[in-house]
């Protein structure tokens, strides 16, 4: 090919020059080549000889194309070409020796710097400091001053909502004709009347016929007569009390006294100053009362000085009239908050029970009254509170401050 021939010729000339220059001296001397701008080159040697040569013509260009079938074609501009096949793969070389194990990895620790950053430090001396992420921002509510509010969040979302309407106020007016009108601010109203009173309960009376019979007569005209000869009309009145702070005997605890009087007594009086048999208490423990139906025995069966045992009074016969029950604090012996319970049994059955708390000596509790002929639960009437009695001295709303206390009679 032309470009190959040109190169070969140039190399031949250069070799001749070098040989010629070498023959003129016992020591090898190098020549220099200078390229001129006119397409020539001049070779100058140390011995003063020189040679100028022209550049050869440009050789033809060639291209290589992969045929995709394991062959490639080399094509040159002078029209020549040649196709060559890929060579066969050579045999695999032998495996190389295993490389040495790498060094162990570096251990690292994490430290919180308490300033919003954290440092990762490794044994190889490297470290890196990272910042904590930002806290999420809360949403805010804005009053739009037009009856609405807007909820806005940092992510750009928001919603607006309106205040609810106020509820309607209503008033009730008594029309003074057994009717009432409910009127509301929204203009609505409604009028309603009192309900009708229920029928009065029909009362009944019990009459002792004096022949061991009694007749029950009611307002509707009905009546019934029955045998009372075996009727158990005995009454037991029991006063029990306790105090959580009292350690027990032989220490003296709070001392309460039971009083039981008929209406002839007019008032409760201190046992140390009362006279006659109209009241039963620790100074007058038994009496025969004639309340208009013969003699009845009334007895203080137990007089107790401490909370261990109750005081008990019994009234053993059928009677007429009204009797009264009271409790007096003889001595607290330094103990307050004494809980007292009074129970009334008729014929062995509990008819009434009530309670009170005492804190001071001389306090008196007007428990109530029994209305005969039958002391049943319906015939027990609670006594007046002290603050309901005009001119009375009181320690509490219910308790009187000592004697005397007037009886309330029917």
Rounded distance, CA 62 to CA 338, Å?
130
For residue 39, is pLDDT > 90? no
283 Cβ contact partners less than 8 Å away, ≥ 6 residues apart: 271, 272, 274
Residue 402: which of 369, 343, 360 has the closest Cα? 360
C-alpha distances in Å from residue 295, one per residue of 211, 227, 282: 17, 21, 21
Quick check: helix, strand or coil at residue 7? Answer: helix
Rounded distance, CA 137 to CA 30, Å?
84
Please state which of the ranges 6-10, 154-158, 237-241, 372-376 shows the lowest mean pLDDT: 6-10
Average pLDDT, the chain: 83
> Which CATH class name applies to 235-406?
mainly beta
User: Residue 389: pLDDT band by 50, 70, 90 thresholds?
Assistant: very high
Report yes or no: 50 and 43 within 8 Å, Cβ to Cβ: yes
For residue 107, is pLDDT > 50? yes
Tokens (6 digits) for 153: 């969040």
Find the angle CA(257)-CA(263)-CA(264) to the nearest 5 degrees.
105
Rounded distance, CA 191 to CA 181, Å?
4
For residue 154, is pLDDT > 80? yes
pLDDT of residue 198: 56
């Amino acid at each position: 090919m032309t470009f190959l021939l040109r190169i070969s010729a140039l190399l031949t000339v250069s070799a001749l020059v070098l040989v010629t220059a070498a023959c003129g001296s016992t020591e090898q001397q190098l020549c220099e080549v200078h390229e001129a701008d006119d397409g020539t080159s001049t070779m100058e040697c140390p011995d003063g000889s020189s040679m100028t040569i022209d550049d050869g013509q440009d050789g033809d260009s060639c291209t290589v194309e992969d045929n995709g079938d394991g062959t490639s074609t080399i094509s040159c501009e002078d029209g020549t070409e040649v196709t060559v096949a890929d060579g066969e793969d050579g045999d695999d070389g032998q495996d190389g020796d295993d490389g040495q194990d790498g060094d162990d990895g570096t251990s690292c620790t994490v430290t919180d710097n308490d300033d919003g950053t954290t440092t990762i430090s490794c044994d190889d001396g490297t470290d890196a400091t990272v910042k904590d992420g930002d806290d999420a921002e809360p949403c805010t509510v804005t009053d739009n001053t037009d009856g609405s509010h807007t909820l806005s969040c940092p992510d750009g979302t928001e919603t607006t909502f309106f205040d609810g309407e106020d509820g309607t106020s209503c008033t009730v007016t008594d029309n003074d004709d057994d009717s009432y009108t409910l009127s509301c601010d929204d203009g609505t109203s409604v009028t309603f009347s009192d309900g009708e009173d229920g029928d009065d309960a029909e009362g009944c009376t019990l009459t002792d016929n004096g022949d061991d019979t009694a007749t029950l007569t009611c307002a509707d005209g009905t009546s019934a007569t029955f045998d009372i000869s075996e009727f158990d009309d005995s009454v037991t009145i029991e006063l029990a009390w306790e105090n959580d702070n009292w350690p027990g005997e032989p220490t003296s605890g709070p001392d309460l006294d039971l009083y039981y009087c008929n209406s002839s007594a007019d008032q409760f009086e201190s046992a140390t100053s009362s006279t006659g048999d109209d009241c039963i208490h620790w100074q007058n423990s038994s009496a025969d009362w004639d309340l208009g139906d013969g003699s009845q025995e009334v007895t203080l069966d137990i007089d107790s000085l401490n909370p261990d045992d109750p005081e008990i009074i019994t009234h053993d016969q059928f009677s007429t009239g009204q009797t009264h029950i009271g409790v007096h604090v003889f001595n607290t012996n330094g103990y307050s908050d004494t809980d007292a319970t009074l129970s009334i049994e008729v014929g062995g059955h509990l008819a009434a029970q009530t309670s009170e708390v005492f804190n001071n000596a001389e306090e008196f509790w007007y428990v109530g009254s029994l209305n005969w002929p039958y002391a049943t639960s319906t015939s027990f009437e609670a006594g007046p509170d002290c603050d309901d009695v005009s001119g009375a001295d009181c320690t509490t709303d219910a308790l009187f401050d000592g004697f005397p206390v007037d009886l309330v009679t029917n």
